[in-house]
A and B are shown apart, each in its own frame.
Chain A
Amino acid sequence: DIQMTQSPSTLSASVGDRVTITCRAGQSIGSWLAWYQQKPGKAPKLLIYKASNLQSGVPSRFSGSGSGTELTLTISSLQPDDFATYYCQQYKTYPYTFGQGTKLEIK
C-alpha cells in the first residue's frame, strides 16, 4: 500500500493567513491526488482533484500543486469557514489511501 503522510498534523492559524499543508507519498503517485475538507460530524468534501484541479464550487483561495511524492494544498487567505480537518488521498494504486489528516485550528 502507498503510505501518505501529511504535515503538519495540526496547524494553528488566523483569519487572513496563508497556509500550506504538505502530503508526502511513499512512492511516486504522479498527479493522482485529491484533497478533501471535513468538518466535525460531516462527510468529507472534495476540494482538489488531480493535484491541482479545483472542484466546481470551491473558492479560488484553495489551490493544489506538486507531483510525484510531494504535493501541497494552499489556502491563500484563511476564512472562518476554513477551520476544519484536511485529508489528501492518492488514487494511483489500489488500495487508495488517505493521509492521516491535518487539523486546521484557529490561533
Chain B
Amino acid sequence: QVQLVESGGGLVKPGGSLRLSCAASGFTFSDYYMSWIRQAPGKGLEWFSYISRSGDMIYYADSVKGRFTISRDNAKNSLDLQMNSLRAEDTAVYYCARDDRDRDGYSEYWGRGTLVTVSS
C-alpha cells in the first residue's frame, strides 16, 4: 500500500534552517508528481510546492519562494524540502503528498506530517 513518511521536523530559531524528508513506498515513485502542503496549528491547509516526476518542473508559492527548495531522489524514493530563513509563520505540520496519476493536480495520498516549530 502507498506509504509516505515525513521526518526532519523540530524546533528551530527564526532565521535558521531545517531539511525535511519524505520516504515513499508502495508505488513507483518516479511515476508521480509530489507536493508539500502545510498546516499551521489550528489553521487550514496551504499547498505551497510541487515537483514533477523527473524534477525538471518545480513550483513554489510566493510565501516560500526564495527560501525553500524542493528536490527528489527517484533512486531512493525520497522527497526533500530544504527550508532556509525560517520565520515564525512557517510553524506548521508539513505534509508530503502524492499527486494523482494523470497529474490533474489533486493530492491522492498524504503522509502523517512532521511538525516544524520556529521560535526563539
Taking Cβ atoms with an 8 Å cutoff, the residues of A that contact B are 32, 34, 36, 42-46, 49-50, 55, 87, 89, 91-92, 94-101
Residues of chain A lying within 8 A (CB to CB) of residue B95: 43-44
Q: Is the CB–CB distance between A87 and B104 below 8 Å?
A: no
Q: Is the CB–CB distance between A50 and B48 below 8 Å?
A: no
A-contact bits for B93-120, CB 8 A (1 contact / 0 none): 0010000100011111111110000000
Number of cross-chain contacts by CB at 8 Å: 56
Can you report 16 residue pairs joining A to B where beta carbons are below 8 Å apart? A32-B104, A34-B106, A43-B95, A45-B110, A46-B108, A49-B106, A87-B44, A89-B47, A95-B47, A95-B61, A96-B47, A97-B47, A98-B44, A98-B47, A99-B44, A100-B44
Interface size class of B (residues with CB under 8 A): 20 to 34
Residues of chain B lying within 8 A (CB to CB) of residue A101: 44-45
Max count, chain B CB within 10 A of own CB: residue among A45, A49, A55, A96: A96
Closest to B35 in A: A96
Q: Is the CB–CB distance between B59 and A98 below 8 Å?
A: no
Q: Is B46 interfacial (CB 8 A cutoff)?
A: yes
- 5 closest pairs, A vs B, by CB? A91-B105, A34-B106, A43-B110, A95-B61, A96-B47
Q: Is the CB–CB distance between A43 and B113 below 8 Å?
A: yes
Contact among A32, A43, A49, A94 for B59, CB-based, below 8 A:
A94
* B39 CB, nearest partner CB in chain A, Å: 9
Residues of chain A lying within 8 A (CB to CB) of residue B106: 34, 46, 49-50, 89, 91
Given A43-B113, A50-B104, A89-B47, 7 additional A-B pairs, CB 8 A:
A32-B105, A44-B45, A46-B108, A49-B106, A87-B44, A94-B59, A98-B44
Bound together, the chains give a CA A99 to CA B62 distance in angstroms of 18
Residues of chain B lying within 8 A (CB to CB) of residue A45: 110
